[in-house]
Amino acid sequence: LQQRRGLRLSAPAAIQVTVRDALNQALDEELERDERVFLLGEEVAQYDGAYKISRGLWKKYGDKRVIDTPISEMGFAGIAVGAAMVWLRPVCEFMTFNFSMQAIDQVINSAAKTCYMSAGSIAVPIVFRGPNGASAGVAAQHSQCFAAWYGHCPGLKVVSPWSAEDAKGLLKAAIRDDNPVVMLESELLYGVPFEMSEQAQSKEFVIPIGKAKIERQGTHVTLVAHSRPVGHCMEAAAVLSKEGVECEVINLRTIRPMDIETLEASVVKTNHLVTVEGGWPQFGVGAEICARIMEGPAFNYLDAPAVRVTGADVPMPYAKILEDNSIPQVKDIVFAVKKALNI
């Protein structure tokens, strides 16, 4: 009626949502949508989750849908994979992906390979999720990035969100996918608020797995990152913009399958490439991106060698000053861009 009278109606505004709350929303909506979905892991139920990602879900859905497990990753990951083989949709939370090493046999040999080895007759619709990469002051056994490890393995899909929208849309897509998906989150992003659009607030909002997002348009150099380093790239791009250098920042979102088409199109436009990641340099995500660009048509458009910015090639130190120097910082990205552009 107001529209007929010519009055202007304002659309619902975007809101600020933390990554933690976005993940909680995604789990809540998918538990409500499909009774086959359930969550299991250490402290996910009565304690509301070690990082409060599952806050309120046990009280709402009960013991059969949100399940506390013993400290036995191989055991509860195996239970989850078995449940997925009979067409339930488990979400298996690791308190940190460093502890997923206890369950690596279940993730790779049971989840990733079963569909192929059964000639497609047995699907494994499971999500393995939890914090990945460096946190703060937790040293080597809690700070490793497994993007390259899991991205190496056929049979898995691997996603790595940055923003709240990434977290919600990718988790919902992962839960609905009929393949095993590894979702690598960042503990340091859980409490960070991001703007969430009206579209992302919908219960049917999903982000397609395998599609990168251009977070900032630019013309001089392509910056590619995933997870927390995307934010560092955005900060570096703002710094460089004041010096007349316009960076195109690409949020990879998905490690496997990799959206090489978006990366190639950007490199063709900017003629320069810098990759940024928190993981180790050897055989890393950046190494794969550089190889794919070199092997494809975009290589002919590069005006300089691609440059990688990575974590230091050491186990994560405990001391803060050493930790800071082991993780890519904004200044490292600025330096790499200037190196690539020879300025």
Burial class (CB in 10 A: 0-12, 13-18, 19+), 305: exposed
Omega before residue 317 within 30° of 0, cis? no
Count Cα atoms within 13 angstroms, Cβ side, for 222: 31
- Reference 128, options 29, 228, 155, 264; nearest CA is 155
User: What separation, in Å, do the N-terminal and C-terminal C-alpha atoms of the chain show?
Assistant: 60
Q: Pick the catalytic residue: 30, 73, 93, 248?
A: 73
DSSP state, 94?
-
The residues, ordered by sequence, that sit 6+ positions from 244 with a Cβ below 8 Å of its Cβ are none
Annotated active-site residue 142? The verdict is yes
Strand runs (DSSP E) across the chain, as ranges? Answer: 15-18, 37-41, 66-68, 89-93, 127-131, 157-159, 181-185, 193-196, 213-216, 221-225, 247-251, 254-256, 273-276, 307-309
Query: Is-contact 146 198, C-beta < 8 A?
Result: no
Residue 152 CA: distances (Å) to CA of 65, 112, 113, 161, 182: 31, 11, 13, 18, 12
Structure tokens at 186: 């960042």
3-state class (DSSP) for residue 223? strand
Farthest CA pair distance, the chain: 67
Find the catalytic residue in 29, 30, 93, 142: 142
Strands 307-309 and 193-196: unpaired
Q: Which residues are catalytic?
A: 73, 142
